[in-house]
Amino acid sequence: MKRHLFALSIMLLSLGHSLSANVVSRRAVMVPRRGDHKCTVQVNVDGTAEVEIRGDTAELRTLSGQDAFWHRFECTALMPHRAADFRLVSISGRGAVSLLRDPRTSHGSAVVRVDDPKPGRGVYTFDLVWRGSPSPGWTPAPPAPSPPSFAVQACQDAVSDRLRQFGYPTASFGRIDPPNGRPEWITGVVTARRRSLNAPFSYSCFVDFRSGRVRSVDVQRQ
């Protein structure tokens, strides 16, 4: 009887662990270019997460903490099975980013682990860079449609309000990232100013494109 109860508890523990891992898939925005190839990833993490890229598709897997989510995923070519000088380049983020799996030794699958050690969410940007030709049969995906201007304005007004609550009265907005499979979401970067201090932030808004109403807004210091 004890043996059966022990086996049942192990099974439930394993099931709970598998259910707790949130996985969000995303298709890359393909941006052809000459020379070295790369995939650029930007994710929002609170805890630990892994990004697995195969071909032009990636999965963002939350291992601990709050659910991680995507900001950006762009590639100049499909993730290669064979390439020269494959490497991870960490661009921004307050924690550790490490390459767990190299596509040259794992049948074209690259896995990057992000460890965010501090309370709250952190934004991480990194490149996977390699030399070599695009895979045969590759064709660029059509560009994602831009969000309507009234929705962008509503989002940026909400972000400016949030920054004023943080004590930053002035905001200068930079790029807007492609929606990339997340309809009615607007993400981008903004520089906020307080006296002589300039601080970079990333933001994301969920906007009802029919009414222009901002349903949620998230602003994070980079």
For 35-70, write each residue's pLDDT tens digit.
789 999 999 999 999 999 999 999 999 999 998 999
For 28-37, write each residue's pLDDT tens digit.
888 877 778 9
Distance CA 123, CA 94 (A): 8
Region 106-120 average pLDDT:
92
For 156-189, write each residue's pLDDT tens digit.
999 999 999 999 999 898 878 766 556 678 888 8
- In the chain, which segments carry CATH 3.10.450? 149-221
User: Amino acid identity, residue 160?
Assistant: S
Distance CA 151, CA 144 (A): 16
Whether 205 contacts 214, CB under 8 Å: yes
- The per-residue pLDDT for 222 is 73
**Per the confidence metrics, is the pTM higher than 0.75?**
no
149-221: CATH topology: Nuclear Transport Factor 2; Chain: A, (3.10.450)
User: Amino acid identity, residue 110?
Assistant: A
Residue 136 has pLDDT above 60, yes or no: no
Containing H/E element for 14?
helix 2-20
Distance CA 159, CA 80 (A): 38
For the CA atoms of the chain, what is the radius of gyration?
Answer: 20
